[in-house]
Chains A and B, each alone.
Chain A
Amino acid sequence: MDKVPIKLSVNGVEHSAEIEPRLLLVHFLRENLGLTGTHIGCDTSHCGACTVVVDGRAIKSCTAFAVQADGRSITTVEGLEQDGKLHPLQDGFFQEHGLQCGYCTPGMLMTGLAFLKTNNSPTDDEIRHAISGNLCRCTGYVNIVKAYQYAAQKMRDGGE
């Protein structure tokens, strides 16, 4: 089958590629670009481990074709840290022990990135709804909610 050209921005870096239309976005990120921070979990759009942010919206990259991302701007977990400084969400997961095995963490962080942009003073209940598409089998979610609150506070203090 013919390959198609795409151009997109990932973590602020422009990329061009020739891809098969059936290539899933998560495979493009991991295999073509080597950005393996985005995880593949269930591969059936249940678990959210593959969550990335596309033009400001958190989506499951196992349930999108890479060709659909042509011309779009993507942020993955690798794009969170800036100039050697952890993003407030990453800091929050560290401070509040928001992970154990860490497998779900990239997805949890990316859902948080899109969510806190729309709501920087969420209730615990709003956070629980926001992460309802991201499964964690270790933490019981309590510390993840705390980590989001930590990040929200830090972002408010920082004027974000």
Chain B
Amino acid sequence: MIPRSFEYFSPRTLDEAVALLQKLGPEAKLLSGGQSLIPMMKLRLVSPEYIVDLNRIPGLDYVSESDGHLKIGALVREHQLESSEIVQTKFPVLADTAKVIADPLVRSQATVCGNLAHGDPANDHPATMLALGATVVATGPKGRREIAIEDFFPGLFTTSLEPEEILTEIKIPLPPPRSGGAYLKIERKVGDYATAGVAVQLTLDGSGVCQRAGVGLTNVGMTPIKAKQAETFLTGKQLDEATIQQAAELAASESAPMDDIRGSADYKRDLVRVLTGRALNRALDRANGGA
């Protein structure tokens, strides 16, 4: 399969990339890892006239900790997250997620920021970033602006980025002590999109009461879903089994799956319930110092 012809640009700075987007208009598409874009171009689901390749811009491949945040640059590949020490120690939910995206060969190319910028509700990082309360940094002609992750996915395959903006960084607040998270995904085979996936991030106080709960759902609606009712229900409670099961049922009721080749809507809704329960238990273990 061969994509339609396009004109190729390879800017060396972010400013140059933004200027190109301004000049070329909406027919330009950004290329980073290319693991979603190139297959779509080969299938001719998209045929951009211009490709602006970000891969030659230096200094965008950082995973670093500063100002109380984990910062992930635009060109960080999934395999970098998997092997990052700070991610493994402080963000187990993020490490869980990176490990189940596609397969190792795809993960050596695919970028974390691209996983969000693609706007696909079947992608895995959106749910995780919703659970973590991340912020997306967009760079455009007017400079940088920050977008809360819950405002980033207005609809199917759309994001709140302007056409002339580039998603240049993801910022995630460093979790307080006694925090833990987990991502669980059911897939039919390695490399498949989730039949359903659930991301959870919890923070407990000294007596084990839930201070903050984040719950994000993958591929069970037209957009990634933040399970707000489940989050509100969990906050302020001791997380015993009955509470966890009730929250899991709330999360299932907040999902909006459709029948497709991966299963019926009822089946997927029930998967959300089961996975939310399991993810909450694992996150709780981790918040209490478990692995």
Interface, chain A (partner B; CB < 8 A): 1-2, 4, 20-22, 24, 27, 43-46, 48, 51, 57-60, 63-65, 67-68, 111, 114-115, 129-130, 132-134
Contact = CB atoms under 8 A, between A and B. Distances in A.
A85 to B, nearest CB: 27
Interface in B1-39: 1-8, 10, 31, 34-35, 38-39
Given A21-B5, A59-B105, A67-B53, 16 more contacts: A22-B2, A24-B42, A43-B42, A44-B39, A44-B42, A45-B35, A46-B191, A57-B108, A59-B109, A65-B8, A65-B34, A65-B38, A115-B104, A130-B104, A133-B106, A133-B191
A57 to B, nearest CB: 4
Interface in B29-66: 31, 34-35, 38-39, 41-42, 51, 53, 55
Given A64-B34, A65-B38, A132-B190, A45 B106 contact: yes
A63 B191 contact: no
A21 B6 contact: yes
Nearest to A46: B191
A133 B3 contact: no
B8 A21 contact: yes
Contacts of B134: none
Interface string B220-256: 0000000000000000000000000000000000000
A19 to B, nearest CB: 10
A54 to B, nearest CB: 9
A67 to B, nearest CB: 6
A4 B6 CA distance: 12
A132 B104 contact: yes
B55 A68 contact: yes
B85 interface: no
A22 B6 contact: yes
A4 B8 contact: yes
A45 B7 CA distance: 23
B53 A68 contact: yes
Contacts of A45: 35, 38-39, 106
B102 interface: yes
A51 B105 contact: yes
A1 B35 CA distance: 24
Contacts of B55: 68
20 contacts: A2-B7, A21-B51, A22-B3, A24-B2, A43-B1, A45-B39, A48-B105, A51-B105, A58-B108, A59-B105, A59-B109, A60-B106, A63-B109, A65-B31, A65-B34, A68-B53, A111-B105, A129-B104, A133-B102, A133-B103
A138 B7 CA distance: 41
A63 B35 contact: yes
Contact of A63 (B6, B39, B51): B39
A51 B38 CA distance: 16
Contacts of B109: 57, 59-60, 63-64
Nearest to B79: A57
> Which 3 A-B pairs rank lowest in CB-CB distance, beginning with the nearest?
A133-B103, A21-B8, A133-B105
A24 B53 CA distance: 15
A20 B5 CA distance: 8
Q: Which of B2, B3, B35, B38 is packed against the most chain A CB atoms within 10 Å?
A: B38
Contacts of A132: 103-104, 190-191
A133 B34 CA distance: 17
A118 to B, nearest CB: 9
A63 B100 CA distance: 19
Contacts of B191: 46, 132-133
B8 to A, nearest CB: 4
B28 to A, nearest CB: 13
